Structure 1
């Protein structure tokens, strides 16, 4: 849409914030009839799946085992090595002694379904990132789901204690908590590209052997309605999105994990190999620059782009806040912060102030 062209990445031409809309296709009379019948069946299907979730008393079950399928695979970026060999190496590496700072999981963020998958698979500690202060705080799984698609908080609300990433990792490790989930983009995208990372890893080195860094990439395959959730305020909006996702006949989530020996926490990892890539449209062997003084974050983003085969953009969390300001105003006539407060969602005063200054 031309009205949203301001948030189209100049380098890739990708718009990473708009909810995906399927392309219009010419259909025959038979296809039109089948489509009409599916419009009757899909709401029933969606309601049935939600009822199953209520019976088993967990939303997680329906998203992991009910509405579609999940494919999890270990990926190696080294030529000549099989996925089986990479998986074997990962299993061996998983048996090593605990790192002094613990374990983190860095992944792209596209939906509340990502949160459910991570909770089901790893039982981790979820975090919320504040770009203005480059700090994080612990949040519950339900809070992480609520934050998906909501207006991003750029600074912590008054009275909320936050910590630099390294301090948070050390404290969590001392308390014996599980792996720490870092959604380094700071907000959700529509799964068509990767957003610029918030520079949380500036004080880390390469390789960073004090922490076990797991790099995951989420990608969705679906029929017409996309499970990604980039715009939505409050539980009512999320429940409506859940229902439409459940109403589809087919959804598949593919999760790709980088092999353990190729992660930047491996002692043999080099910054040069981490920044060298062959993204679409660029020549083989291109070495990319460090972004915002965050060498480790740039490496992780680059590796994530390679295992996900998603392009990297120059857009980030602040661009998402600007986009939501415009998107909500355009579609409802009210500001994004007002829409968030009305729905009971999340929007900090700092975010609203920052948005006004940008306007």
Structure 2
């Protein structure tokens, strides 16, 4: 859409914040009939699966509440929570069409023999407590997959302070596609990421998940990382780092979720996901032998090659965040996604403009109903107060 062209990355031409639109294609008469049938069947399927997902979600909440009885016995509580997460969240993913999730541990070193079997064996081991999982972020499906697979500690990151805080699974789901909070609210305690991961390791709280892009994209590229790893060593051997990339393949409807300003967006997208007969998710994890937490890792090796089609003219802030620059490069090489010059602040500006285009600028009451508006909304709305960002 040309009205959003200012958020098109100059080096690549990619618009990472717009929901993907499938290309128009000519269809045969048989395909047109099949499409017409699907238009009738899919809504029915969506309603049934949406109800089942709601029931499983409610069951998960109730079982989590029951699990509070085991909280005085930390190992038992952790095992109980891990069990219900593995069963119920996996069932939800099946209802959403993710019957099979392809998992692959990859090596970026050329000519490496025998790496596949060792990598696959490594991927089957449970993530240790205090391990840091670094991943791209495109959908609430990412949250569900990580919760099912690792039962991790989710974090919220603040780009203004370069700190994080722990959040629940439900908070992580709600933040997907929402207006990114750049600064922590008053009274909320946050921590430097490295200190937080080490504390989680000491308490045995499970692996920690960080989305260094700070917001969701449409799964076509990688945003510039928030320099949350600033000051870290390369390699950083005091913790274990797992670099992960999630990718969605689709034809008509993309499970990616870039705009989720209120519940109408969330439930509408969830319903369309339920209406799909199947969806495809592939997960790639960099082998731990090539992780920047490995003592033999070299920053020169991590930056030695750029992914195919990398953005031209994008200057990575190596001096500001050398470890982040290494990891975004590794993630790009894993996925073949392009690295962009846009960041989380550009996403906030995009949502400001998105709200103005969809809800107008003359009526503040209309904008307030969305629960979100940005600086441009406030400056363009004459005589109206600035509504709360969602």
TM-score for the superposition, normalised by structure 1: 0.88
Residues 217 and 248 of structure 1, relative CA distance in 2, 3 Å threshold = same
What is the DSSP-based 3-state SS (H/G/I as helix, E as strand, rest coil) of the residue aligned with 2:103? strand
Structure with bigger RCO (C-alpha 8 Å, 6+ apart): 1
Counterpart for residue 61 of structure 1: 90
Return closer, same or farther for 1:43/1:160 CA change in 2, 3 Å cut-off: same
Which residue number corresponds to residue 175 of structure 1? Answer: 203
Aligned 8 A contact 1:199 1:292 in 2: no
2:3 matched residue in structure 1: 3
Q: Of residues 330, 333, 356 in structure 1, which corresponds to 2:360?
A: 333
Q: CA deviation at 1:343?
A: 5.0
Deviation at 1:164, TM superposition (A): 1.3
1:298 maps to what in 2? Answer: 325
- Residues 205-233 of structure 1 deviation map (CA, whole Å, 9 limit, x = unaligned): 01100010001001001231110000012
**Please, what is the CA RMSD of the aligned residues?**
2.9
Q: Hey, what does 2:109 align to over in structure 1?
A: 78
Residues 297-318 of structure 1, C-alpha deviations (whole Å, 9 max, x = no match): 1111111111111111010000
Contact 2:351 / 2:374 at 8 angstroms: preserved in 1?
A: no
Structure 1: any 5+ residue segments left out of the alignment? none
C-alpha separation between the residues in 2 aligned to 1:6 and 1:268?
42
The structure that has the greater radius of gyration is 2
Secondary structure, counterpart of 2:247 in structure 1: strand
**What SS does structure 2 have at the residue aligned with 1:300?**
helix
CA shift, 1:31, in A, is 2.2
Offset, 1:139: 0.5
Alignment-derived partner of residue 52 in structure 2: 52
Helix, strand or coil: the match of 2:369? helix
Give matches, 1:21-170, under 5 Å. Answer: 21-56=21-56, 57-58=59-60, 60-66=89-95, 67-68=97-98, 69-81=100-112, 82=114, 84-87=116-119, 90=122, 102-170=130-198
Please state how far the C-alpha of 1:83 moved relative to its aligned partner.
Answer: 5.1
In structure 2, distance between residues paired with 1:178 and 1:276: 32
In 1, Cα distance between equivalents of 2:310 and 2:203: 45
Distance 1:289 1:237, change over 3 A: closer
**How many residues are paired up?**
346
Worse-matched range after superposition: 165-174 or 247-256: 165-174
Task: Please give the TM-score of this superposition, normalised by the length of structure 2.
Answer: 0.81
State the secondary structure of the residue aligned to 1:190. coil
Equivalent residue of 1:188, what SS?
A: coil
- The residue that corresponds to 2:386 in the other structure is none
Deviates more, 1:244-253 or 1:317-326: 244-253
> Does 25-34 or 35-44 show the bigger shift?
25-34
Unpaired runs of 5+ residues, structure 2, are 61-87, 382-390
Q: Displacement, 1:340?
A: 8.5
